[in-house]
Structure 1
Amino acid sequence: MDDHKENAVDKDVTESFPIPDKDYGGWISQQQPNKMSGKTALSHPGELHDTRGTSSKLNWLRAGVLGANDGIVSVAGTIIGVAGADSNPRSLLVAGLAALAAGSFSMAGGEYVSVSAQRDTERALLDKERWELENLPVEELDELAHIYEAKGISANTSRRAAFEAMQYDALRAHATDELGINPDELTSPWQAAYSSFLSFVSGGIIPMLFSLIPVSFPLRVFLIVLSVAIALLITGSISARIGGAALGKAILRNVLMGLSTMLFAWLIGMAFGIHG
């Protein structure tokens, strides 16, 4: 009885959506007439909106905030650590500049290498998927149908959905549902490097500027710590709103970690510094 039902399903799908033999892989390059561009997407209240890219933008914003946070804590920790060993304003300036330069270029370089490796992997996977769609179309249809079926969709509906998804955009269907990749949003290594560089500098410049204020040494240190606490309060607040976390807890955690870092750096400077 089950075999009879399955055969009926396959027959129904085949009759409704006849599978071409040689041209099946051509779905990759075909421009389907029913695709909607961003300009023609529904825009009335209660209708479906195009949300592609929203998650990516949030990830970029989150990464930018974290980069600024790293800049604030790293540069401030270095300056305060040197301040614990030497009260010479010139020493603080050199320490701050060195930390700002090394940190920003290190972040940019690391992000470039990391994203380049990720992009190469994603491209290789997409190239492999293109080949499979061109040369193994029926197997790819079955594979996509099984993916949908594993999500709880019936066999008949899964096969219909897989066929229609591949008619619409075969590569996108397999990239998103099988590989978890959006082929339109492959990250640029250079863009990632620039973003990391700028976000680190935007955060690190805060304690750097306050270290240049021509006031007494104790007051200068106090202003640096105060500016860092305020900056971390802001970045903690933004991070909490992006991630949907509890605002007070996120801010407290962020500020305490920053202050703890500066305290530890200060103690190291005091322990190994030479005071005359």
Structure 2
Amino acid sequence: MTDVSSVLPTHPDEPHAGSLAGRLNWLRAGVLGANDGIVSVAAVVVGVAGATTSTSAVATAGAAALVGGAISMALGEYVSVSSQSDSQRALIEKERAELADDPEAELAELTALWRAQGLSEQTASLVATELTERDALAAHLSAELHIDQDDVANPWHAALSSAVAFLAGAILPLLAVLLTPEGPRIPVTVAVVLLALAATGALGARLGRGAVGRATLRVVVGGALALAATYLVGSLLGTAGIG
């Protein structure tokens, strides 16, 4: 198969190759997973710290949130990607069977798809014929379903990546709250969390080629609201004698 990058003009800011776009999607997913880890564990430890000054209680709650969140993220990603990959494989097998049963009808269908893209009848027929001779299944999967049979998502890889990303983000607020003395514990943890969120927000925006300032502000404000809410709940419970 011809490497797309070898025939397309070089534009560094335009990821024409599907594999590059896929890698960017995985990177964005990793950034989002880390962001989830930061916010969820930070919210737990700040909330508990608002209710009690016990380091062991904060550590226990934070560790539970870290482990539980990582497992939850991994399971959710595994289920989601498994459903996606099952659907993709079913579509691939369906297309394979249709090509085996009636190749002429499939060639006519592929020609019609290229005609719908604006090609003349003669050119569309030529393109469809050459692509069919080269790899009929790949041609139909690409034109009809926008699927690459060699790029079906792996649910185990997705689950592991999600868990690792979550853990990478979650460890920051946990370390911050445990390594800081009791007095400045909460403000230091909040500062570390907001800085980390600003970094993940900016990175996610750059990967998605969006507005860095706006994306960063959204993430930081959202994280700050989450921390404020959980700290308020913890403080109220602690004042009521529940903490």
User: What TM-score results when the alignment is normalised by the length of structure 2?
Assistant: 0.91
| Alpha-carbon offset, residue 66 of structure 1 | 0.2
Task: Check if 1:142 corresponds to 2:108.
Answer: yes
| Stretch of structure 1 that moved more, 78-87 or 55-64 | 78-87
Note the C-alpha offset of 1:36: 3.6
* Amino acid corresponding to residue 112 of structure 1 in structure 2: Y
Taking the TM superposition and a 5 Å limit, the aligned residue runs for 1:211-250 are 211-217=177-183, 219-250=184-215
Q: Deviations over 1:10-39 (max 9, x none)?
A: xxxxxxxxxxxxxxxxxxxxxxxxx4469x
In the alignment, does 2:138 pair up with 1:177? no
Q: After TM superposition, give the deviation of residue 41 of structure 1 in Å.
A: 4.4
- Aligned partner of residue 255 in structure 1, secondary structure: helix
Map of 1:259 onto structure 2: 224
CA apart distance, 1:52: 3.6
1:27 paired residue number: none
Where 1:76 maps in the other structure, the secondary structure is: helix
Q: Is the alpha carbon distance of 1:232 and 1:129 closer, same or farther for their aligned partners in structure 2, counting shifts above 3 Å? A: same
CA separation of 1:214 and 1:267: change in aligned 2, threshold 3 A: closer
Q: Deviations over 1:148-206 (max 9, x none)?
A: 11122222221211111111111111111101111111111110010000000000000
User: Which residue type is aligned with residue 126 of structure 2?
Assistant: R
Report the 3-state secondary structure (helix = DSSP H, G, I; strand = E; otherwise coil) of the residue aligned with 2:134: helix
Question: Partner of 2:153: helix, strand, or coil?
Answer: coil
Deviation at 1:60, TM superposition (A): 0.3
Does the CA-based 8 Å contact 2:197-2:219 persist in structure 1?
Answer: yes
1-structure distance, mates of 2:147, 2:189? 43
Contact 2:53 2:182 in 1 (8 A): no
Match of 1:20 in 2: none
Alpha-carbon distance between aligned partners in 2 of 1:188 and 1:256, rounded to the nearest angstrom: 34
* Maintained 8 Å contact 1:176/1:182: yes
Aligned residue in 2 for 1:158: 124
Question: What TM-score do you get using the length of structure 1 for normalisation?
Answer: 0.81
Where structure 2 has 5 or more consecutive residues not aligned to the other structure, the ranges are: none
CA distance in 1, matches of 2:7, 2:111: 28
Letter in 2 for 1:258: G
Identity fraction in percent = 43
- Match among 235, 238, 241 for residue 270 of structure 1: 235
Q: Check the 8 A contact 1:41/1:50 in 2, yes or no.
A: no
Q: Which amino acid aligns with 1:257?
A: G
Length, aligned pairs only: 238
The one-letter code matched in structure 2 to 1:245 is G
The higher radius of gyration belongs to 1
Amino acid at match of 2:186: V
* Residue 191, structure 1, aligned to residue 164, structure 2: no
